[in-house]
Amino acid sequence: MKIKEKIWKSFSILIGIVLIVGIVYAIISVKKTNETPQEVSENKQEEKELLSSDYFINPDRVVYKMKKENKYYIFEKDEDSYKEIVNEFCKGVTSKTDGEKLTEKDIEKIKDDEMFIEFDYNQVSKNYVFPLELEGKNMIAMQEEGGQVYLNKIENVDKIKELLEKYVKEKGAVKLEDPRVYTSKNKEKEIKDADEMKKIDDNLYELKIESYDQYKEFVKKHNVKFNENLKIEETTFKQGSVIAVISKYTIDDVTSDVGSIHYTYTGKVDKDTEYTVSITFVSEVTNSNCIYRNLDKVEVDKTEDKTTKSNNSKKDSKKEITSEEAIEIWKNKKPGYWTGTKVIDNENYNKLDGIEKGDKKPNNLFTKKNAYNELETGPERPVWILHTSHDTHIMESLDIYIDRYTGEIIGGRVYGD
């Protein structure tokens, strides 16, 4: 009898559990049934939508580095992981606080020691670095020299770290390697395919080689022969980028980081100097769309520098325009600039934050038709530098260079600091 009572008691408990589960399921089903089609649509839309922020521009890619390790993970724009990570930063970065200025060495040490996310841009902004575990320095805006701390704390940093842990398991790590430069033994008196390359000035041309077939064609066309054992195959173009340089200058040094490649040139150039062909290989961690060039150590025979003559004659023959005249030029001729996907109308830059005199090299920020970094051409020219800011993106600024003697808009720069 006691056995039957125990069986009945156990059966009753089981029935009770089933009933409770059924009731909970029914409540959830009713809640979902009562949800309007509009609410369902809005929820799905929110899942798909890439958010935006007033405090940074959405990057061209996201790069994550693990703490104290040379392991990088790259999240491209067309990946769901990119969208989720950027959306969390849009939610977590809700204010801006001006902090300390950091030197290049400060930032280099942070990148060596800390876990960080870097928002990488082809052109539209300087990069942002987000150290995820560094107290008081959770957002750093990169500048031409060093950087500026803008945020002490990201509110949802734990959620961001959870996402990274999830997606890192699905991706392979990539190492940031030093650039490798190979120089051809043969030289050239003239460049046959100059129109196919990016002209920096009369003495320097660049070409980003996109495929193995293009590389073979380039080597054959320029009769390239290396002393070093350079092995480039089809797989090379999946592991990084190949940059060809044809120059009368000598490459003194090449460095790279997440956001750019930096060339330093040296040498004395005159009318008899021949061109040298070089090939640079950088890892896929490095953004090869942004190339910077330091020509401070280069000497050019002034008798051959027609650009300098032209600029000097303009300066001597015209009176310097006033700052008020420069402002009027800006108001009447606001140029658009290329972001890599479209041209931005600068009508949104209505606030003039300041104007000052300076010397700047011309660049093609307002005339370019591709995602390359600004093209610097020729020597510096005396300019008015107009500092303007965006109406809605409060951390986005635009500098416009106006020649102080001709009134031409000769270039500028967009930055997120």
Domain boundaries, the chain: 2-34, 51-168, 180-301, 310-415
**What is d(CA 297, CA 123) in angstroms, rounded to the nearest whole number?**
26
CA–CA distance, 273 with 188 (Å, rounded to integer):
9
pLDDT of residue 107: 94
pLDDT at 106: 95
**DSSP string covering 217-253:** HHHHHTT--BSS-----TTHHHHEEEEEEEESSEEEE
Other CB atoms closer than 10 Å to residue 161's CB: what's the count?
15
Q: How far apart, in whole angstroms, are the C-alpha atoms of residue 318 and residue 79?
A: 54
411: left (phi over 0), alpha (psi -120 to 50) or beta: left
Give the DSSP H or E segment for 17. Answer: helix 2-34
Specify the pLDDT at position 300: 87
Count CA within 13 A, CB hemisphere, residue 208: 15
Largest CA distance in the chain: 119
Rounded (10°) angle between helices 157-168 and 80-92: 170
| 291-300 vs 261-269, strand pairing mode | parallel
CA–CA gap between residue 281 and residue 304 (Å, rounded): 32
Cβ contact 360:380 at 8 Å? yes
- What's the predicted TM-score (pTM) here? 0.67
Is the distance from CB of 118 to CB of 286 less than 8 angstroms?
no
**pLDDT of res. 105:** 93
Residues 188 and 224: beta-carbon distance below 8 Å: no
Residue 284 and residue 174 in contact, taking contact as beta carbons nearer than 8 Å: yes
pLDDT at 282: 95
Contact yes or no for 358/18 (Cβ under 8 A): no
In angstroms, how far is the first alpha carbon of the chain from the final one? 83
Beta bridge partners of 208: 243
pLDDT given for residue 316 in this prediction: 43
Instruction: Please report, in tens digits, the pLDDT of each residue of the chain (417 residues total).
Output: 555 555 555 656 666 666 676 665 666 555 545 545 444 444 444 456 888 888 888 999 999 999 989 999 999 999 999 999 999 999 999 888 888 999 999 999 999 999 999 999 987 568 999 999 998 899 999 887 889 998 778 889 999 999 999 999 889 899 999 999 999 998 999 898 888 898 888 899 999 999 999 999 999 999 888 877 777 888 888 899 999 999 999 999 999 999 999 999 999 999 899 999 999 999 999 999 888 888 889 998 865 444 444 444 344 445 888 888 888 888 877 655 544 444 455 556 677 888 888 888 887 777 665 544 555 666 788 899 988 877 666 556 788 899 988 888 888 887 764
Listed in sequence order, the residues at least 6 apart from 262 whose beta carbon sits closer than 8 Å to its beta carbon are 254, 255, 256, 291, 292, 293, 294
Distance CA 226, CA 357 (A): 46
d(CA 297, CA 44) in angstroms, rounded, equals: 57
